[in-house]
């Protein structure tokens, strides 16, 4: 039958589970056969149907349509042969009772409120039960005050304000989206003494600066608003009342008042139409050039008493229930090694691009794996597919599940593979670099829907073509593309459900998706993130939804069935080396700057500035000393050698390993990434424990690498820098030791 | 009397000519005394009066008010004791008979026409006799065609269009101002086959991106238009019919049809209000990010048949007369060495900032020098103050005067000092670096009106403070500022009346003015460049008008009275060295890029591009070879040695020179800069002869250094590059020889 089936595949015929079941007693299927079986179940048309159904109503945490979606997901998995359980948690999740925003000077004008529907977008006219624009976990409050424009509202912006003698104490700040994570803006504002915070979507970022305004293009329309969470996830994500433990019904809880991740000042996100009413009236000195956005007026700092805003927010803080849908195919040979794959299913309003375009790709994979299962295939390792609830407010579902099952995951999970939406264009993969080679091989096997080339070739061509168009590009990626190598995996920060896995539990993780040609930025977290928007501007026909299922499904198949996990450590060691090089450059640059800064005086700034916008001297800071990096450098050298030895030995002897060698190798590689966890966690935020990557304290989503060391240098905590360098050195030495022990098995 | 007078100065008392005349028979006045006498005549209030009178009516070439201004200037100089002559020329200068601009598809809309008056600006409501928005020396024509947006309309922009398969043949292009000189835009458009050209003022450049819109700030208002010349001044400036010779009444003339500097296609400058009507309707692929301006819509390439414009321009091409006002104070000891100083007096409409804010500073200097003359002072060298006519359409007055008097100027002019407007802020000086030390000394003696520091200290503080604000800055300037050195002089390109002096006649030149804090960019070449705009937003109280007169007046005084010209050649040799280094870097960069480009194929671009905006591969170009630079490098090394020897000898022995040594030194230094002239001129434009600097062929105003060599490399004319390197080497060797001969006198 094998020949027949293969002929069917070659002819593009769908292969039914019935046909395959005939082979279930034959020798195990090869990789190509399994992949073909998976692909045969992936249907873009079917994804269109799922997307349409799941985006038909508001699907935020706790909404009826979201609960119905969970039931749909559960039902599908069960139909496809998976074992399904729910993992429910009780979380603190505020929803707005009332939001008030009005300009009270120099004129009175009501601002804010729900976004308007448009005729071309069906669900935008059906908003019953939809959340109005707000940000979750701000503080309740009712304030009236003058307004100060603070650019992105990040630390450098407050330094620029301080040098001009502008304070936000007692004021309401207005920040534009971008530059760093949303939640940092009200957090830093309240630390600076502001009593309220507005965040607006500047059109330069995701409005007409990026695309025609929806519905003429995918760009954010004038009245579009970006909802989101402002939970202080840099301290810890998940339910704010149960840090470090699962938010089960009887877990010990903090109170809302004592939870450090809940902010204190009222905050609202607003549209650029509303922002224009405020910003265009501000007085004061003009802002620096790089503070200007795309609105058609001259941006100024504001702060004077004549432009005032009234901002009031009141939320319902009663506990809410969330429900993850956890589906499993149990492993045969290595049941206690888990390949975990996930995507969240809750959105902010209709959630078409974010998250359902990823969830439906995951459903296609699950259907394909289910078909294989029904055909008699049994994965060697256990496969766990998780559909997370409550990602949007604070990675609630995934974090609580990881916290509840922490010990088991640290022991059993060999990888977590995340998606969180998808679009047209180029494959992007970030995460644990020991899986870079696997990602590269899978990308070489899947065809790009638009060009017919492989996804890997298209990525390489894209990097090279863009580099020649003068677009900014990563030099390492360009070098890899020029050499025909694998796409280098960037470090993971935060912003999706891999966070608890990689940063808290030490489970190596990947995050992937296609993008770069869609226009979903303009609908992000608004009522316009709809089926109509998605199929018109983001991934028409869901061709890339199908491609994503093929890529992620192949990864899961390979990982679940490999006798020995397809790990290659050269890219990981190389990444560690480049992170240290960057930090050395940072220290050198800082030292040169500090030297020059020492020669600057208030008098130079008085003479050198435009008197209309006087600058004081740069804030005094302790000069950067040399940091003791020798131990860390030596540890990375050891890791590089260990990686070369392992990768070389696998390449030479991998095909000829005995079963007992394979078992010994698996045993020694299992949990190797636990070596990367710092025993004490990172400074200021012990929940984050990975010494190689973390979301930046002052970037939020963006990753910092060797974060304990790097952030200590950046923030001039030089004692911390020396200590964190030592912690990282011990971790990497431990990693090299474990790797050498594994290599010993096969050499 | 001397003591008394000095006491008066210290007390800040004005010193009258009558008082000074008492000293006229005493020993010669010292530098400080002469400077004090000059300063005493400089009155910002008086400048306000002159500015108000001279800007009271339209003062473009040939207008009655411009002729009256010439008469006013002549009268003032005569009153102050100068000998005055007119230098009149007959030039081709077109003025518009009719200009038509209308959108004819997808809707019909009349655009263009005169800018509207505003209540806050008196003269803007009194436009009788004012020119409508137009550009001089475009072609007459009447065309209707689809529109293509071409960004700045420079060579790289047409390459970007070509790679997308977009042609402008038979189309009307619309370019934004900026990126390079205005006149290049229609010139390149017609070379590309376009049949019409529109140039608009994007608000990012000089509208709300730079300041609040006038009258709330100095920024260009929505209906503001930048007039200007599009004469092909890169080939040669001045009257297009008489290249190389003075446009006297009986000069031999080309015809308008055979004059290579007159363009062929109709071209109009337009406001951003009008540009919005066109650009916001364009279809086609979105433009690259760096092509986007500050208008609130998504910029697209256009080119489709549905958006069409009707453009028609007809000009009066009859000959016109221009009249330079040339005022002289004859020298005593060295009558045949001329210190030439100039500013133009014709504007585009009322011309407050450009040019009259510079002209009135020059009048203050002339009054001061006149007072010294009346007090009995006689300059050693002759002083020539020129008020140029017809600068705006094409540097007509200065160019024709230089061409008519070429032989005499090459022999006698020791320097030309130019201004062309002024504003609040920091002193900027560009030009022949052998005068860098003089400029630094003068800047150290004049006080900045706002801060009370010296102009030199404020410049240094400004560079250092801005560098720490992360603003882009010149690294050489920063180094000089940190060391307390003189401001490095940038190279002169074109755009004002120094052009014929330095580039054609080889007369070393300086161009200076204050700026950086005013908001005159938004009124440039519009009806809003008015007295009201200037005194409100550009230089309130004309405090910097007074400072400019003190700086330029001191330079003239020093140069006219120095026994030996205050030349120091180290900065010139250093500049030549850094120009060569830049070109080596350019060649190295090009060679690396060419290597990488060789590995790129059409297939890579097909795969790597967004199919909605497909890119072809970079245009095929001959790879960059090594260029023979050894002779030029050696010549610069000789020049460096010669400069060190001269500067050292002057420093050691300069104070003790005998009269015969001084005479010998003057004789050997006289005309030393003639060595910089290339016998054959620059490729494609023999009128430009300076081997060290030129306006760029594809920048227009912006300077290119070692231009024959640099542009040949940039444009991949590698035979030219080798030849031009040799020409520059011979010129610099000649310069070093002459310098060594001078040094021999004093060593």
Name the residue with tokens 């070879």: B625
Neighboring chain B residues of A208 at a CB cutoff of 8 Å: 296-298
**CA A408 to centroid of chain Cα atoms:** 24
Q: Tell me, yes or no, whether A510 and A557 share the same domain.
A: yes
In a domain? residue B146: yes
Task: Write the burial class of residue A484 (CB in 10 Å: 0-12 exposed, 13-18 middle, 19+ buried).
Answer: exposed
User: What is the mean predicted confidence (pLDDT) over A176-186?
Assistant: 97
Q: Tell me, yes or no, whether A222 and A265 share the same domain.
A: yes
Interface test mutation site (partner A, options B213, B608, B621, max chain A beta carbons within 10 A):
B608
Q: Tell me, yes or no, whether A339 and A236 share the same domain.
A: no
Q: Which regions in chain B score pLDDT beneath 70? A: 1-27, 470-473
User: What is the mean predicted confidence (pLDDT) over A67-80?
Assistant: 98
Q: Tell me, yes or no, whether B74 and B119 share the same domain.
A: no
Before B78, cis peptide (omega within 30)? no
This prediction's pTM = 0.94
Q: Tell me, yes or no, whether B338 and B354 share the same domain.
A: yes
pLDDT in tens, A622-636: 999 999 999 999 999
In a domain? residue A459: no
Q: Which domain holds residue A10?
A: 2-92+326-452+492-561
Domain end (from B561, B579, B613): B561
Given an 8 Å threshold on Cβ–Cβ distance, is A516 in contact with B288?
no
Confidence band of A472 (pLDDT split at 50, 70, 90): low
Given an 8 Å threshold on Cβ–Cβ distance, is B209 in contact with A298?
yes
pLDDT at position A16 is 42
Q: Tell me, yes or no, whether A604 and A635 share the same domain.
A: yes
Given an 8 Å threshold on Cβ–Cβ distance, is B607 in contact with A461?
yes
Neighboring chain A residues of B599 at a CB cutoff of 8 Å: 482
Return the CATH number at B76.
3.40.630.10
Q: Tell me, yes or no, whether A59 and A108 share the same domain.
A: no
User: What is the mean predicted confidence (pLDDT) over A437-450?
Assistant: 98
Given an 8 Å threshold on Cβ–Cβ distance, is A296 in contact with B453?
no
A474 has pLDDT over 90: no
In a domain? residue B395: yes
In a domain? residue B535: yes
pLDDT at position A513 is 98
DSSP three-state, residue B547? helix
Give B197's Cβ-side CA count (13 Å radius). Answer: 34
In a domain? residue B1: no
Return the CATH number at B696.
1.20.930.40
pLDDT at position A620 is 83
A733 has pLDDT over 60: yes
Interface test mutation site (partner A, options B296, B519, B602, B620, max chain A beta carbons within 10 A):
B296
Given an 8 Å threshold on Cβ–Cβ distance, is A465 in contact with B609?
yes
CB atoms within 10 A of CB B119: 8
Given an 8 Å threshold on Cβ–Cβ distance, is B465 in contact with A600?
yes
In a domain? residue B104: yes
In degrees, to the nearest 5, what angle opens at C-alpha B696 toward C-alphas B692 and B699?
150
Minimal Cβ distance to B219: which of A298, A466, A618? A298
Q: Tell me, yes or no, whether A211 and A225 share the same domain.
A: yes
Q: Tell me, yes or no, whether A83 and A192 share the same domain.
A: no
- Residue in chain A closest to B603 (alpha carbons) equals A461
DSSP three-state, residue A472? coil
Instruction: Tell me the residue ranges of DSSP E strands in B450-562.
Output: 509-516
Q: Tell me, yes or no, whether A64 and A167 share the same domain.
A: no
A385 and A362 in contact (C-beta within 8 Å)? Answer: yes
Neighboring chain B residues of A604 at a CB cutoff of 8 Å: 461, 464-465
Interface test mutation site (partner B, options A204, A212, A298, A483, max chain B beta carbons within 10 A):
A298
> What residues contact A644, with CB distance under 8 A and at least 6 apart?
A570, A573
In a domain? residue B290: yes
Q: Tell me, yes or no, whether A262 and A280 share the same domain.
A: yes
> What residues contact B85, with CB distance under 8 A and at least 6 apart?
B326, B327, B328
Neighboring chain B residues of A213 at a CB cutoff of 8 Å: 298
Helix B543-561, helix B31-41: angle, nearest 10 = 150
DSSP three-state, residue B37? helix
Helix A475-482, helix A455-468: angle, nearest 10 = 120
Could you tell me whether strands A334-344 and A381-388 are parallel, antiparallel, or unpaired per DSSP bridges?
Answer: parallel
> What residues contact A420, with CB distance under 8 A and at least 6 apart?
A343, A344, A354, A355, A358, A391, A495, A496, A497, A511, A513
In a domain? residue B14: no
Q: Tell me, yes or no, whether A283 and A340 share the same domain.
A: no
Sign of CA dihedral A275, A280, A286, A290: positive
Neighboring chain B residues of A466 at a CB cutoff of 8 Å: 608
Closest CA to B452 of B543, B539, B361, B552: B543
Domain end (from B561, B584, B601): B561
B147 and B303 in contact (C-beta within 8 Å)? Answer: yes
The tally of domains found in chain A comes to 3
Return the CATH number at B243.
3.50.30.30
A3 has pLDDT over 80: no
Tokens describing residue B454: 């010296």
Q: How far apart (Å, rounded) are the C-alpha atoms in residues A481 and A329?
A: 37
Domain end (from A271, A291, A316): A316
């Amino acid at each position: 039958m094998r020949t027949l089936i293969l002929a069917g595949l070659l002819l593009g015929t769908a292969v039914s589970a019935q046909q395959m079941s005939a082979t279930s007693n034959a020798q195990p299927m090869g990789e190509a056969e399994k992949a073909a079986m998976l692909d045969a179940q992936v249907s873009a048309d079917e994804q269109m149907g799922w997307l349409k159904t799941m985006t038909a109503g508001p699907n935020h945490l706790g909404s009826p349509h979201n609960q119905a979606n969970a039931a749909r997901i559960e039902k599908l998995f069960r139909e496809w042969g998976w074992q399904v359980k729910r993992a429910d948690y009780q979380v603190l999740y505020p929803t707005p009772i009332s939001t008030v925003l009005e300009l009270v000077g120099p004129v009175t004008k009501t601002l804010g409120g729900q976004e308007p529907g448009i005729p071309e977008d069906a669900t935008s006219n059906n908003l019953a039960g939809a959340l109005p624009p707000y940000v979750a976990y701000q503080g309740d409050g009712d304030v009236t005050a003058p307004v100060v424009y603070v650019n992105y509202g990040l630390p450098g912006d407050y330094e620029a304000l301080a040098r001009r003698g502008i304070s936000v104490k007692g004021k309401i700040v207005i920040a534009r989206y971008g530059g760093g994570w949303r939640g940092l803006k009200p957090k830093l504002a309240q630390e600076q003494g502001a009593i309220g915070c507005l965040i607006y979507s500047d059109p330069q970022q995701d409005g007409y600066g990026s695309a025609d305004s929806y519905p003429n293009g995918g760009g954010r329309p004038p009245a579009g608003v970006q909802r989101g969470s402002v939970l202080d996830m840099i301290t810890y994500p998940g339910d704010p009342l149960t840090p470090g433990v699962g938010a089960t019904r009887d877990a010990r809880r903090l109170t809302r008042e004592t939870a450090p991740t809940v902010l204190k000042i009222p905050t609202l996100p607003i549209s650029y139409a509303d922002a224009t009413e405020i910003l265009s009236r501000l007085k004061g000195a003009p802002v620096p050039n790089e503070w200007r956005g795309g609105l058609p007026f001259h941006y100024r700092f504001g702060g004077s008493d004549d432009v005032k805003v009234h901002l009031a927010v009141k939320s319902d803080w009663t506990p809410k229930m969330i429900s993850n849908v956890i589906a499993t195919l149990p492993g045969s040979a290595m049941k206690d090694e888990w390949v975990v794959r996930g995507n969240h299913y809750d959105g902010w309003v209709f959630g078409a691009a974010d998250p359902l375009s990823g969830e439906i790709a995951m459903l296609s994979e699950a259907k394909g794996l289910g078909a294989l299962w029904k055909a008699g295939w049994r994965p060697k390792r256990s496969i766990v597919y998780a559909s997370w609830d409550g990602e949007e407010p604070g990675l609630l579902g995934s974090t609580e599940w990881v916290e509840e099952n922490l010990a088991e995951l640290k022991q059993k999970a060999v990888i977590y593979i995340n998606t969180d939406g998808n679009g047209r264009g180029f494959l992007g993969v970030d995460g644990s670099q020991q899986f870079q080679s696997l990602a590269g091989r899978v990308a070489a096997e899947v065809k790009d829907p638009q060009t017919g080339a492989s996804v890997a070739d298209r990525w390489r061509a894209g990097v090279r073509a863009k580099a020649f168009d003068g677009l900014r590009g990563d030099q390492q990626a360009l070098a890899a593309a020029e050499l025909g190598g694998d796409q280098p995996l960037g470090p993971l920060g935060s912003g999706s459900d891999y966070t608890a896995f990689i940063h808290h539990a030490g489970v190596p993780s990947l995050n992937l998706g296609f993008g770069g040609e869609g226009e979903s930025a303009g609908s992000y977290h608004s009522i316009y993130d709809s089926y109509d928007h998605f199929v018109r501007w983001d991934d028409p026909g869901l061709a890339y939804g199908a491609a994503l299922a093929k890529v992620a499904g192949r990864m899961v198949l390979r990982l679940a069935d490999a006798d020995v996990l397809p790990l290659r450590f050269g890219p990981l060691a190389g990444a560690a080396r480049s992170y240290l090089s960057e930090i050395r450059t940072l220290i050198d640059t800082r030292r040169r700057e500090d030297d020059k800064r020492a020669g600057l005086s208030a008098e130079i700034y008085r003479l050198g500035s435009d008197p209309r916008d006087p600058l004081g001297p740069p804030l005094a800071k302790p000069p950067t000393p040399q940091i003791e990096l020798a131990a860390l450098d030596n540890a990375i050298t050891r890791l590089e050698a260990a990686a070369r030895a392992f990768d070389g030995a696998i390449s030479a002897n991998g095909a000829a390993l005995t079963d007992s060698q394979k078992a010994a190798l698996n045993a020694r590689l299992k949990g190797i990434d636990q070596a990367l966890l710092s025993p004490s966690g990172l400074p200021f935020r012990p929940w984050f424990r990975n010494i190689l990557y973390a979301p930046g304290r002052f970037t939020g989503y963006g990753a910092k690498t060797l974060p304990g060391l790097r952030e200590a240098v950046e923030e001039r905590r030089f004692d911390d820098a020396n200590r964190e360098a030592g912690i990282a050195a011990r971790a990497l030495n431990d990693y090299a030791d474990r790797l050498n022990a594994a290599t010993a098995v096969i050499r």
